[in-house]
Amino acid sequence: MANLRMILWLGFGLALWMGYQAWVIDYAVVEPATTQQSPAVQPPIDASLPELAAPTVAPADGASVDAELPALSGPAEAMVAAPSTAQRYVQVTTDVLKVNIDLDGGNLVGAELLGYPVAKDQPDTPVTLLSASPEARFILQSGLRTRAGVGEANHLAEFDAAASAYTLGGDRDELVVTLQWRGNAAVTAAKQFIFRRGSYHIEHRLVVENGGAETYSAAAYSQLVRNHVPVDRSFTSVDSYSFTGPVYYDGEKYQKLDFDDLAEEPLQGSYTNGWVASIQHHFLAAAIPPADQATAYRSTVRGDQYSLAAVGPLLEVAPGESRSFDISLFVGPKLQAQLTPIAKGLELTVDYGFLTILSQPLFWLLSKIQEYVANWGWSIIIVTALIKLVFYKLTETSGRSMAKMRKLQPRMKAMQERFKDDRQALSQAMMEMYKREKVNPAAGCLPILIQMPFFFAFYWVLIESVEMRQAGFALWINDLSSKDPFFVLPLLMGAAMLYQTRLNPAPPDPIQAKVMQIMPVVFTVFFAFFPAGLVLYWLTNTLLSIAQQWNINRKIEAEG
């Protein structure tokens, strides 16, 4: 039992370390080439939309469409240059967002999340998610494409707005910002962005009016363009725990895309009920085509920049008619309450990994308790106690076995002295004693094996859930998603683990006993840089385990 328990603890520690090392390898910074082409030679990724074939679907008149749409082309220099005073912007401010829309293209090129400071000690500096800056470029483009490639209200076209600034104020719950396309006289188009109070969901509508004599065919598209900036994968970086990069949903499965693989294996396919997004720790920007609409998806990599594009089917606008092309956008934090209603699978961007089946119920329980106690730290403690309660009978059986083993320690030492030169005889004598006393030496391992998935599931809940970002608990713990600034919780946890080893039977081998004494120190170092919420969970779990084992030991002693 002692051997197995030691192996489990060592395996657990090694799993954490090896997992981290594997992550560093997977997301290691790739050194750029020593020579790079200038923008004039290598056009930017958004100067041409990837050549996407429209899905074979029936347009309004029932005719089949299977023609490949032409590539967009535009002035490369204008698309990579830093914003200048000559550029025209519209600024939109709601209670949660401050968005910049570039009238040269009608694209979202800036987004500040007003309720999310970059750091606890910088409350007036909000997180910037979308940006047009060359070093951290992350923009969201949209537009219309035609089969001929002309007369397009695309992401390079010029738009006009009635005002340069819009604010969602007063008693209004909705703000509609309309951009008019400077197109031809026969066909007019407008981009509408609909913002709502308290929401990061932006409804996007492209409205076409055909005043000409010929049918106008167009396909709506949306495209995320972002610089690939390698994340700091150091052990002390909170963001290093989470995936950053392009993702998509094909209507059934959520997929993360590795930047280094995209150039050789680009995304290419047609899906319904899907979406594309670019995520980072706690935040994302996503483009969601209409549900049940066949949409072509493509990715492109050029230099250190990638794009994800979604192009809908060609639809016809008859002379004298108008048509709306709808796209849903999400720019903000990974709030599951907002993500879930918008699109199927969008909540999976809160990346709990393969333990999602456990993590999502744990988060639901945690959030429900938080609604009553209004403190995420106390919610963590209560959920930990509930998990402990669920496994109480299992751990009690294990605890009774360990308590009996502890009681047998003097007899085991006597046997070791008696059979010190005969290991086989010692093993046989101990097995006979276990059988006679009805003790299972492996019983202490089962609870650890069963609880480990819940530990890792809770770990991802605390790491990935933006609801706990910068959430305070008490005293010096003012951010449960970051490490304890004074390392008090890890030290308390290490002390509790050390005391816990005293309640359990010591391994018969002296070397194993020393290893078991060192393990609390090793775990203290591991947990010193983990989020305080996770350490609080493990400290609470350890204290509850100590209380339970102490009570069991007391009962076993009383039984004689």
Task: Read off φ and ψ for residue 484, nearest 5 degrees.
Answer: -60, 120
User: 63-72, 119-128, 153-162, 516-525: lowest mean pLDDT where?
Assistant: 63-72
Question: For 17, what's the count of Cα atoms within 13 Å in the CB-facing half-sphere?
Answer: 10
Report pLDDT for 62.
Answer: 34
Going by C-beta distance under 8 Å and a sequence separation of 6 or more, which residues neighbour residue 159?
Answer: 103, 104, 105, 106, 179, 180, 181, 182, 191
Report pLDDT for 274.
Answer: 94
What Rg value do the Cα atoms of the chain yield, rounded?
30
Q: What is the 3 state secondary structure string of 502-543? A: HHCCCCCCHHHHHHHHHHHHHHHHHHCCCCHHHHHHHHHHHH
Going by C-beta distance under 8 Å and a sequence separation of 6 or more, which residues neighbour residue 521?
Answer: 494
Give the span between the Cα atoms of 347 and 15, in whole angstroms.
Answer: 27
Averaged pLDDT for residues 38-66:
37
Q: Which comes out higher in pLDDT, residue 461 or 36?
A: 461
Averaged pLDDT for residues 261-285:
93
Please state whether beta strands 322-333 and 201-210 pair in parallel, antiparallel, or not at all (unpaired).
antiparallel
Report pLDDT for 14.
Answer: 43
Question: For 21, what's the count of Cα atoms within 13 Å in the CB-facing half-sphere?
Answer: 6
Contact 389, 396 (CB under 8 A): no
Nearest Cα to 99, choosing from 208, 179, 181, 182? 179
Q: pLDDT band at residue 16, thresholds of 50, 70 and 90?
A: very low
Q: What domains appear along the chain, each with residue ranges and CATH number?
A: 2-21+360-559 (no CATH), 39-80+88-349 (2.70.98.90)
Q: Give the dihedral of Cα atoms 81, 82, 85, 91; nearest 10 deg.
A: 120
First-residue to last-residue Cα distance in the chain: 23
Report pLDDT for 44.
Answer: 42
Task: Read off φ and ψ for residue 550, nearest 5 degrees.
Answer: -60, -45
Residue 553 has pLDDT above 90, yes or no: no
DSSP, collapsed to helix, strand or coil, labels residue 258 as coil
One DSSP character per residue, 29-84 reads PPPPPS----TTTS--GGGS----BPPSB--TT---B-PBPPPP---HHHHHSPP-
User: 50-64, 367-381, 386-400: lowest mean pLDDT where?
Assistant: 50-64
Please state whether beta strands 322-333 and 315-317 pair in parallel, antiparallel, or not at all (unpaired).
unpaired
Nearest Cα to 351, choosing from 292, 277, 270? 277
Structure tokens given for 264: 């050789």
Q: Which comes out higher in pLDDT, residue 454 or 17?
A: 454
Residue 28 has pLDDT above 50, yes or no: no
Nearest Cα to 121, choosing from 378, 484, 470, 468? 470
Going by C-beta distance under 8 Å and a sequence separation of 6 or more, which residues neighbour residue 505?
Answer: 1, 2, 402, 405, 406, 408, 409
Report pLDDT for 509.
Answer: 58
Give the span between the Cα atoms of 217 and 360, in whole angstroms.
Answer: 43
Q: pLDDT band at residue 194, thresholds of 50, 70 and 90?
A: very high
H/E segment holding residue 246: strand 245-249
Contact 156, 172 (CB under 8 A): no
Q: pLDDT band at residue 371, thresholds of 50, 70 and 90?
A: very high
Report pLDDT for 55.
Answer: 35
What percent of the chain is modeled with pLDDT above 70? Answer: 75
Going by C-beta distance under 8 Å and a sequence separation of 6 or more, which residues neighbour residue 60?
Answer: 315, 316, 317, 318, 323
Residue 349 is classified by DSSP as G
Q: What is the 3 state secondary structure string of 422-478? A: CHHHHHHHHHHHHHHHCCCCCCCHHHHHHHHHHHHHHHHHHHHCHHHCCCCCECCEC
Q: What is the mean pLDDT of the chain?
A: 79
Question: For 404, what's the count of Cα atoms within 13 Å in the CB-facing half-sphere?
Answer: 19
Q: pLDDT band at residue 392, thresholds of 50, 70 and 90?
A: confident
Give the span between the Cα atoms of 335 and 328, in whole angstroms.
Answer: 16
